[in-house]
């Protein structure tokens, strides 16, 4: 169900203990591409997360993405609202775009010094404007002595991860009692295992650490185990060569690449393509301006497989997933494909038709396991 409007107002109208999980991608509060919605402070609002806590069933889980340099404020607000911080999931990827200031270039510019070998290419028209898009392919050789000293220095690292806070509403007693009463409080471990598993049953020996005797284990204990796939970890990656250099065998962790063009536009046939943004007074805005227009012009679309994995991890069978920041509707699509009910709030009117079309597309798809 799409709820159109401000999530803080809409959540206040929802009944207590009415949803089973919350999976959301709130603003990172970075002022992304000059957008006002990414600089409102809503992700740090204890009032917002208190409302989320109220509508969530006891033991229900909250998964919320955060920015690498603002995550701490998100997690603090979630905790201050009354949630228990249970863990943090890291989504790692190799396709991040560094938005760094070239210090040497900035020094030359401030001194009014030109770089004769600087190369600037032009690429056709920029949107509806007659001026072509300019792209610097070579910053040139530093001119001033000071610029030469600071050649190779910048101001930012290449982004390669996004943290996800894993929080839970306090239980009513034990986990067992909570699960039996509300159906919430636990994670779907077997349903989220990594790899298919061979199904092979074998006998293994483990050190005898029963009774918390970790440091002085004597003998071994024999267990019969079945290979069901690897236990889900608090790391997710995109399978890129960069990441696999560090992680090796991809089946050790769930992996999911960023959303492709065909995926983000699925169900939007006939929609007029638009650019994510038209500003060019920031590095991010200039970068976005060079991208081709898209039917789904939301600037931060998460991959469907990633959101399917997350909703499945924390939502009980036939449960309802809530996303207070629905964006272009990926959480709704993921919930539908996994067989869950969904509710989502979105205040940007331009995204409503995109959400509705993507939801219709998801509902028409065969229901297959991720």
Residue range of the domain that includes 141? 103-149
Residue 317: which CATH number?
A: 3.40.50.150
**Per the domain annotation, does 368 fall within a domain?**
no
Q: Kindly state whether residues 168 and 304 are assigned to the same domain.
A: yes
Specify which residues 222 forms β-bridges with: 205
Structure confidence by residue, pLDDT tens digits, 334-360: 999 999 999 999 999 988 999 999 999
Digitized pLDDT (tens) for each residue of the chain, 370 residues in all: 999 999 999 999 999 999 999 999 998 887 555 565 566 789 999 999 999 999 999 999 999 999 999 999 999 999 999 999 999 999 988 877 788 999 999 999 999 999 888 888 776 554 444 556 667 778 889 999 999 999 999 999 888 899 999 999 999 999 999 999 999 999 999 989 887 666 566 676 666 655 555 455 566 766 665 556 788 999 888 878 877 777 666 556 776 777 888 888 888 887 877 776 433 333 344 344 445 667 776 767 889 999 999 999 999 999 999 999 999 899 999 999 999 999 999 999 988 999 999 999 999 988 766 6
Task: State if pTM tops 0.85.
Answer: no
Q: Kindly state whether residues 318 and 172 are assigned to the same domain.
A: yes
- Rounded Cα–Cα distance for residues 113 and 126 (Å): 28
**Per the domain annotation, does 181 fall within a domain?**
yes
Nearest to 277 by CA among 38, 105, 69: 38
Q: Which SS3 state, helix, strand or coil, does residue 117 take?
A: coil
- Rounded Cα–Cα distance for residues 64 and 83 (Å): 12
């Amino acid at each position: 169900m799409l709820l159109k409007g401000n999530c803080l107002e809409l959540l206040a109208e929802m009944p207590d203990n009415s949803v089973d999980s919350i999976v959301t991608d709130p603003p990172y509060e970075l002022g992304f591409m000059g957008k006002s919605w990414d600089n409102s402070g809503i992700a740090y609002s204890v009032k917002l997360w208190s409302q989320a806590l109220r509508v969530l069933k006891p033991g229900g889980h909250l998964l919320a993405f955060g920015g690498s340099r603002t995550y701490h404020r998100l997690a603090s607000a979630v905790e201050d609202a009354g949630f228990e911080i249970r863990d943090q999931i890291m989504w790692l990827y190799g396709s991040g775009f560094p938005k760094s200031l070239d210090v040497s270039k900035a020094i030359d510019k401030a001194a009014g010094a030109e770089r004769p070998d600087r190369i600037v290419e032009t690429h056709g028209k920029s949107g509806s404007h007659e001026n072509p898009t300019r792209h610097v392919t070579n910053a040139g050789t530093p001119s001033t002595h000071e610029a030469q000293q600071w050649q190779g220095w910048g101001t930012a690292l290449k982004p390669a991860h996004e943290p996800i806070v894993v929080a839970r509403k306090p239980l009513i007693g034990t986990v067992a009692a909570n699960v039996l009463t509300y159906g919430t409080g636990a994670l779907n471990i077997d349903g989220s295992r990594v790899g298919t598993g061979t199904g092979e049953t074998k006998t293994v020996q483990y050190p005898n650490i029963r009774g918390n005797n970790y440091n002085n284990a004597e003998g071994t204990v024999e267990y019969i185990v079945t290979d069901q796939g690897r236990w889900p970890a608090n790391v997710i990656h995109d399978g890129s060569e960069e990441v696999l250099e560090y992680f090796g065998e991809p089946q050790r962790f769930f992996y999911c690449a960023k959303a492709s063009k065909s995926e983000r536009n699925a169900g939007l046939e006939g929609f007029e393509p638009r650019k994510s943004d038209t500003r060019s007074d920031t590095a991010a805005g200039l970068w976005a301006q060079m991208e081709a227009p898209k039917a789904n012009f939301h600037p931060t679309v998460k991959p469907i497989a990633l959101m399917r994995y997350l909703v499945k991890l924390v939502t009980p069978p036939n449960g309802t997933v809530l996303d207070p920041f629905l964006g272009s509707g990926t959480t709704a699509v993921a919930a539908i494909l996994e067989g869950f009910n969904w509710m989502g709030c979105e205040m940007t009117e331009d995204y409503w038709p995109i959400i509705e079309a993507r939801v219709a597309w998801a509902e028409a798809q065969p229901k297959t396991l991720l």
